Structure formats: C-alpha cells, structure tokens
Structure 1
C-alpha cells in the first residue's frame, strides 16, 4: 500500500512535467510559425519590389519615356513567388550545375582565323580610353546614362537593373551575353559594363575633347560621329518576339528564300519602303511625299504595328517584301534594326544619308553593298537612283547581291566573335578588378527562361545553337590607321562621284526642261500671233461687209423705187388707153384702117393685157 501511494505523486509529477513540455513545444511551434509567416510576408513584400530583367518594378528611362510593361494579373503573391523562384533559386540549383556540366561546350583549338575587316572599328570605338584607361569613377559616372549594369566575374553574369527597357530588349541582350559565356567557357574576361538599351547616344564627344577627364564608357546599340557611345550587337539578333521576328540566322534564311520567288529583272521597277513614320522622324515624314511610282519611282507604305499585331503580322512578313527592284532604308527616331533585314533582300538598298551607325554598318561600301540617297533632295535623289538602276540593270542587280552577301557573311559566329573581342579589349582598359555589386543578382539561362513569357521563351529557345562544338574566336588584328583612312577616303569619293552624277543628270534635265519650256513658249507665241492675225483680218473684212450690206440695201431700195415707178407708169398707161378706147367706141372722127398714134412710152404688144382686151372687143361701126 505504501508503494502504491508513493507512485501516484510520481505519476502526477511526470504528467505535469510532460504537460509543461508539450505546452512549451506548442508555444515554440506557434512562435516559430508566426515568425516564419512574418518573414515570408516581409520577403514577399521585398520580392514585390525586386527588380528583374523582365521589367518588374522598373520605371521607364527618364531620357526616353514609354508606356510601362503590363504583367499578367495573376495576383502579386503569384508573381512574387515566381520572382523568388526565378531570381533566387534557379541559378543556385544543383540541377543547373549538373546540366551545365553535361552540356559544356568544346572549343576546336585548331581553327583560328583572322577576324573580318570591320572588327577594326573595335579599336576605334575604344580609342578614347587607350591612354587614360577605365576607372571605377568612370563606371560610376556612366550610371547616370545607363538602364542596367552587367558584371561578369569568373564566367558568371550578374545584372543590376536601374530602368526598364522598351519591350524585351534587356532580356534578349542579357540572353546574348549568356550565350557568349557558354560558347567560350573560361575565355570571357571579368568586366564591369554600363549599358543603355534606348536608341539615341548620350556621351557627347565635344564635351570631352578638351577635358582632362576621360568620358564615361557606355554600351548601347548605336552611336554617331558626335558621340562616344560604344556600339554593341542589338537584341534582335536573338529574336524580337513583339514583332514576330525569329533569331537572325533563321530570319535571314527566310528572307533569302523569299527573294527567289521573283527574279530581280521581273520585279516592279520601283523603290519600296514600309514602316512607321510616326516616330518623331522628320526624314520619314518627308519620305511620305515621295509616294508616287510615276513621278518619283517609289512606293511608300505606312506600317501600323497595332493592326499588324492583331492580324498576326501576316502583312508584314519580311520574306514577302522582296517584290520590288529597290528598297529604301531611312532612320527612325535614331538608328533602326530594320537595316539588316532590308539588306537581306537581293534588291539594291537606297540608303538615305544616315546620322547613326551600329557595329556592322561601317563595313558597308556604297555602290558595292548599297546606293546612297541624299536626304536634302530626297525625292529627286530616289528618282535618280531608280532611273540609273533601270538603265544599268546588271550593275544594279550586282549591288543588290553584294548587300545580301554582306549580311550572309554576318552570321552568328561573327556576331559572337565581335562581342568577345569588344569585351576583351574593353577589359584590358580597366584599371580595377570588377566586383559584384550588392544590389546585383546572378542571371543564368534558366532564370531568364523562368521570367520570360511563353512567346518570349519560344523565341529565346529557338536561338540556342544545335551544336555544342565551336571554333575558337577569330584573331583580331592590331589597330591599322591606314586601313581606316583608306576606307573613309574610298567611301567619301564614291558618294561624291554619285552625287556629281546626280547633279549632272539634274542639270541636263533642267536644261531639257528649259528648252521645252522655250519651245512651248514659242509655240504659244506663234499661236497668239496667228490669233491676232486672224482677228485683224476679221476686223479688216468687217467694214467691207458692212459696206456691201449697205450697198445691197440701197440697191434694193432703188430697185423697189424703180419697180414702183414702173407700176405707176403701167397704171397711167392703162388709164390713158382706156380713155382713148372709150372715145373710139363713142364714134370718133378717126378713119378706119388708120393706126392710132402711140402716146404711151410703153410698147404695146399682143402679149400686153390691154392689147388683148382691145383685140378681143368687136370693132364698132361708124354712125
């Protein structure tokens, strides 16, 4: 009994302790859960403002405003979870490293070759920093003009977005850099790059011509002679999902195949342009005035991208736009990505005097790859080029083939090689060791595809090469100033010669027009003289006609008066005869057989009425 009594308090104590432990565990779990929930909520709030290359939580560039991107309305928590997965989990996944190791590219070391001549422009674009180098202060100064920052360290890519880019430009540009890293593993050096994805260059050359400070290095898709922005291959080489354009090599092959549908000589003998003139481009607005096949030899069509998007871009397929002998290229708001597609037809391209250039257009040569057209005399210059080409068909067709061949040689191998050498030469100028910024995030192919919309993902995946073996990058020659001078002198001479030909042609046309004008004036003067002569003749004959009419009137009056006198004489004669006849009938003294004395001036004949009356009456007897 004593043992039983003692066991009960022990049991109660044990139960109490277990209860306390369970209570503490439950309390700890509740606290942990609430803390986790709070952390998750905070993380979701943080993710809701996380900036991505897809444009999440980014404002448009202030120097070129545009409508912000609208994402699918699946709820902010759904989008936040997607951002968390794509931005923080995808690139660090063990599966990614396994997959990247299995798909590792191999370089063929025995295929080194010289780079194309146009790669010499890399040296020219970086010449401004050849002496001073590129410092961290230069990078910080470039941030003012950049939309995003790209840092490559140990073959891994990090992005720090500042502003949104139009449509998917940032995503496709980053995708191209990731493809570059995969193509040349271990060869791409560490770099720190500021990049702007909008059109117009910003770093003014004149501002740093006499300055002791070196200009901020800024990459973009185009530049011009007045700016120092560094040209880089544009996003559309990997496709342009918003306009239904495939990656470059696929799109080029489609255009080339489409150009075979109609032989060059059988195409319309006119110049063709189709695009959007409503982009604050005075030259495109002016181009609309040249829309006349008969007067200017040009067909100018307005492109409505909203209608084309709704119609599935069926009317704007580039492969179906090689039906004219000539095509026209003119810049828009700045440089235009359409240049490479227009050149891909084997029709000579009439290039309206450009102000901007991208990385490859400086390698084009007039009258070999295109025909220059003056912007100052746009319509007449287009007309001259069309007339010249139609009168020199063999030369014109060769120029069209030359432009197409240039673009065919610019394959994706050359594009990646240009990117590699530009980044490599840029890295040699850096006077600091690139470090990953605290605000930057690692980006990999998987994270880009994770953030991309279905159509974007399809285009991006279609740009992935089918092979895993690539040749080594081409060998870049050192700077050659003589080559630059040779190019520029040749290009200037050819353009001047064409302009002189055009001026001579216009002068001859003007002379012919003046001669025709003089001849027309002479013919008009002759006609006027003839009209004056005829008028004078009419005026001269008019008085004679009046005199004749008066004479006829007077003659008629005199005839009427003469007839009146005749009638009076006849009446008088009749009266006289009647009186004489009355006397004879009354027993006159005139003997028979003796003729009557004629007192009337009118000669009596048997035909006269009075004679017939006398003859018909019986002769009266005397007494």
Structure 2
C-alpha cells in the first residue's frame, strides 16, 4: 500500500492470472458424462416400461386364451433382421431401441396416410356384377339373430370376454385392441387378411367394430339365448361354428399362408395341389383311403381313426404326422401336392374344425368326410354325394370300407364326385374369399347402431407394421399373399332366403341318413 491507495499486484506480464487447474478440466466432462448416463438410465427405464405394457400382433405381453390354453409364445427381443433392408434406420445406433421390435414397430413406424382409390368406376358400370356363390346365403343366416334387435355398443362389449382381439375399421384404416395371444401366427395372418380386404376394395369397406376369437371351438351357445330371456347374443367372429352355436364364421388365417407347417397362400397352394392330382389318372391311383395328420389334439374321432389303419381289412392307410419332426426335416414328406395319388382321402376333425378340409377336397380324390360337428364358412356349401362321400362317425371303419368298395366298383361315379369337390374349391379362389369377407362385413355393419370408434388402447395396423413384427419366414408368406385392388365390383349378394337354407339342411340330412341305412343293410 502506497499513499493509502490499494494497488493490485500484477504478474510480470501485466495480465490478471487465470486458474486453469487440470482437476477442473477433468471434472467438467465427467459431469457431462454422468448426466448422459443418468439420462440414458432414465430413458432405459421408461422404454422398458413402455415395452413391457405394449401388446402386439406377434403376441408380446399377451397371455394365451384361458378358454383354450396353449404354451406361451417364445418371443425374443432381438434386433429386427429384415433381409429386404440394406441399411439400418438411425435409431439402430441406440441399442435399447434397436433391440426392441415392440418400440420400433409400434411407435417409430408410421402407417401411410393416403388411402388408395378404387381401380374401377362403379358409376360407369352398365350392368350389375354377377350373383355371388350360393354359399354366400349363409351370411344372412349367420347374422339373423341381430336382424331385429341390431347390435348396440353394450351388446358388442359382452363379447369381449370371449375375444382374443377387437378390430375397428374407421375411414378405411384398421385398428386392433389385443386381449389374448393366439396360437402360432393366427392373429398376424388374420389381421393381414383384413388389411388385404381394405387393399382389395379401397374406400368401400364401411366403418365397423367387431370382436374376434382366433381359437378353434365356438362358444356362443344358442340355447343360452332367447328373446324371452337373454337377447341379443354377443356377436363374436371366429373360424367355425356348429348348428348349436351362434359364432359368426370368418375365413381362417391359412388362406394367407401357414408358415409353421409350410402351407402356401390358398391360390398358390390350390394350383400346386391340382397339378399334383394330375400326375396319375384315376385308374393308376391307389385304391385305398388315405389320411395323414396329427391325432394328438384331443380329438376322439382321430384317435378312433387310428384303429382303421389296415388296407386289407378296412381299405385304409392312416399315417401319423409329427409336425415338429417334419419341420426339422424341411417338410419334405408333408407336401400336400404329393398326397393326391389316392382315390380316397379322409377328413377327420381335430380339436374342432380343421383347415385341412379345403386341401383334402382340392385333391380331386373322393373325399371321405367323417360327419363333422364343426363347419367353417365354406364347408356349408358342400353337398354329400355331389362334392364328397359322407362317413359315419359311429360306424367308422366299416363305413370307410363301404365307401372304398363302392368307389372301386363304381370308378366313374367316384371320380365324378371327387372332381365335383375339386371344382367347388377351384371356384372358391381368393377373389371369392374377399367377396365373402366384404359382404359379411358390410351386412354386419348395417346392424350396428353406434359409430365405430377405435379405443385409446387400440393400435393402428397396416402392412408395414405387420411385416415389421413378422419374422423372415412369416414375411415371405405374407408378401406372397398380398392382394391388388379389384378391377371390378364384388359379386351381388342375393336377398335372404331362409327357406333355401332349410332345404339345403334337409337335403343333406336325407342323403346322409339314406347312406347310413344303405351301409347297415
């Protein structure tokens, strides 16, 4: 201090000193790194929470249906391997995102906003489309319980406890609310089929809200409902029904392919089967009845069928199909087109109805159908002695033997019935399947007295989101079954004719009854 004045001490350079400590230099990046780590941990926890709550078309976070338990799906959170994509998206740089197909496919993928227009001009058509196949008459019969009462929102929600998922179509877009897992890839291929329907008839599918169960056995018993007690019944879509149930039959998932057993989409599989059926003419085909399938599905009739495995005594060859073993061998022994070298092919129900019925009839052999309890949408159009030969379930082996002996004694008639079945299946190509789906949904939508609105828990589904969740083999099958917009209007659905349905049922019962009498005399 000089003269009472405080003079700052300066360094030799005349500059104010700075504190550039090495410790401080290290602390700043360390703090930033810690902040990033904490943020990533928080992000990880939040992402894990989202992933663990999101239900998907592949079955993530879904329990098997309680009314038909099956082993839970083995789903791994692995990096999405799309062999059609040469480059990874930017979120692949973040491991938690890249390893979660749930996050990728449910939240980072957006569905197209543009809905394509029809490829035809309905107003310029000079004539009405041709009439639908006769079996379409069953659409009116299936929906008859709601024709007077209509379907309220509360009636729809009564079906929720029996459904695996809920489908809402709104303004041409499809939303799904998942409740339970479906066995194998049934839900994936069923929803894909609905998306192909929207693609087939763009802008023509009405807003609709429906409940769907993807398991085998129908559950809405007609005896549990009547106008004087409980009415209307809950509307529930599924793959089959019976005369004692009110479940609404819908084309099953395998029309778009069944990758687990290597069965191609329907049009492709039918062409292959028909070609295989032509390798041998009728005279050269084996003179025995043939069945190959899985008897271990809680099916009394298939268990009973095993006792008929004697070509000399019963004229039948019964083969056990081990699908797990077949998958390991590359499905070399299960190709359906190679099973048409028999004059007679047997259809036996499994746990309920079986998708195998359409492949058996497609062979053009004389189909020996063991009188079924369950029927899908197409089998109700079949007529005994015209499209197939009825087999008695109570007199099984002798009934098979009778059919084989009759066919070998009347080869021309047997071949004609077999061809009648094959022709029926050829007429039921995917164009007809989409027409059936279209009219069923249109007629169903007319019965709803509320505006279909997707719930907040529903996810929008589109082709990209389905393909995103699919594994490599599933994607291969899905893409092979992709539809193109129709160049014409769907067929014309005839007016309801319940008397016609009654005549069909009576005719079928009479033919089967006469057949059983003939076998026992």
TM-score past 0.5 threshold: yes
TM-score (norm 2): 0.87
The answer to whether residue 95 in structure 2 is matched with residue 82 in structure 1 is: no
Deviations 1:361-400 (A, max 9, x none): 1100100100000000000100111111111111000000
Deviations 1:19-69 (A, max 9, x none): xxxx99x99999799567624531332123311000111111111111111
Where does 1:479-518 land on structure 2 (aligned, <5 Å)? 479-504=496-521
Pick the aligned partner of 1:50 from 37, 51, 54: 54
Q: Quote the Cα distance in structure 2 between the aligned partners of 1:407 and 1:77.
A: 48
What's the CA shift for 1:85? 2.1
Pick the aligned partner of 2:440 from 404, 410, 422: 422
Which residue is 1:269 aligned to?
A: 287
The answer to whether residue 399 in structure 2 is matched with residue 389 in structure 1 is: no
What's the CA shift for 1:268? 1.1
Alignment RMSD (CA, Å) = 2.7
The answer to whether residue 192 in structure 2 is matched with residue 143 in structure 1 is: no
Contact 1:150 1:194 in 2 (8 A): yes
Pick the aligned partner of 2:377 from 343, 351, 359: 359
Which residue is 1:370 aligned to?
A: 388
The answer to whether residue 111 in structure 2 is matched with residue 107 in structure 1 is: no
The answer to whether residue 317 in structure 2 is matched with residue 317 in structure 1 is: no
What stretches of structure 1 of length at least 5 have no aligned partner?
6-10, 13-22, 505-623
Where does 1:546-565 land on structure 2 (aligned, <5 Å)? none
Contact 1:274 1:303 in 2 (8 A): yes
Q: Quote the Cα distance in structure 1 between the aligned partners of 2:162 and 2:411.
A: 47
Pick the aligned partner of 1:443 from 455, 461, 466: 461
Pick the aligned partner of 1:161 from 178, 185, 193: 178
Deviations 1:558-585 (A, max 9, x none): xxxxxxxxxxxxxxxxxxxxxxxxxxxx
Q: Quote the Cα distance in structure 1 between the aligned partners of 2:313 and 2:194.
A: 48
Q: Quote the Cα distance in structure 1 between the aligned partners of 2:413 and 2:62.
A: 51
What stretches of structure 2 of length at least 5 have no aligned partner?
1-7, 9-14, 17-26, 80-94
TM-score (norm 1): 0.73
Q: Quote the Cα distance in structure 2 between the aligned partners of 1:78 and 1:328.
A: 50
Q: Quote the Cα distance in structure 2 between the aligned partners of 1:431 and 1:155.
A: 19
What's the CA shift for 1:276? 0.6
Q: 1:356 to 1:469 in 2, by over 3 A?
A: closer
Deviations 1:410-464 (A, max 9, x none): 0001101111111111111111111111111100000000110000000000011
Q: Quote the Cα distance in structure 1 between the aligned partners of 2:231 and 2:412.
A: 53
Contact 1:190 1:427 in 2 (8 A): yes
What's the CA shift for 1:315? 0.4
Where does 1:602-617 land on structure 2 (aligned, <5 Å)? none
Q: Quote the Cα distance in structure 2 between the aligned partners of 1:198 and 1:79.
A: 33
Deviations 1:289-339 (A, max 9, x none): 111111111000111111101101110100000111100001010000000
SS in 2 for 1:85: helix
Q: 1:227 to 1:469 in 2, by over 3 A?
A: closer
Contact 2:435 2:490 in 1 (8 A): yes
Which residue is 1:91 aligned to?
A: 110
Which residue is 1:278 aligned to?
A: 296
What's the CA shift for 1:80? 5.9
Deviations 1:155-190 (A, max 9, x none): 100011111000000000000000111111111111
Contact 2:240 2:249 in 1 (8 A): yes
Q: Quote the Cα distance in structure 2 between the aligned partners of 1:282 and 1:33.
A: 60
Contact 1:47 1:80 in 2 (8 A): no
What's the CA shift for 1:501? 1.7
Where does 1:167-566 land on structure 2 (aligned, <5 Å)? 167-209=184-226, 210-465=228-483, 467-504=484-521
Q: 1:29 to 1:252 in 2, by over 3 A?
A: same
Contact 2:160 2:211 in 1 (8 A): yes
What's the CA shift for 1:285? 0.7
Query: Which structure has the greater CA radius of gyration?
Result: 1
Q: 1:31 to 1:105 in 2, by over 3 A?
A: farther
Contact 1:369 1:400 in 2 (8 A): yes
Contact 1:147 1:161 in 2 (8 A): yes
Q: 1:436 to 1:264 in 2, by over 3 A?
A: same
Contact 1:374 1:381 in 2 (8 A): yes
Q: Quote the Cα distance in structure 2 between the aligned partners of 1:437 and 1:362.
A: 35
Q: Quote the Cα distance in structure 2 between the aligned partners of 1:498 and 1:446.
A: 52
* Greater helix fraction, Structure 1 or Structure 2: 1
Q: 1:472 to 1:37 in 2, by over 3 A?
A: farther
Q: Quote the Cα distance in structure 2 between the aligned partners of 1:176 and 1:212.
A: 33
Give the number of the structure with larger relative contact order, counting CA–CA contacts within 8 Å between residues 6 or more apart: 2
Which residue is 1:131 aligned to?
A: 148
Contact 1:148 1:161 in 2 (8 A): yes
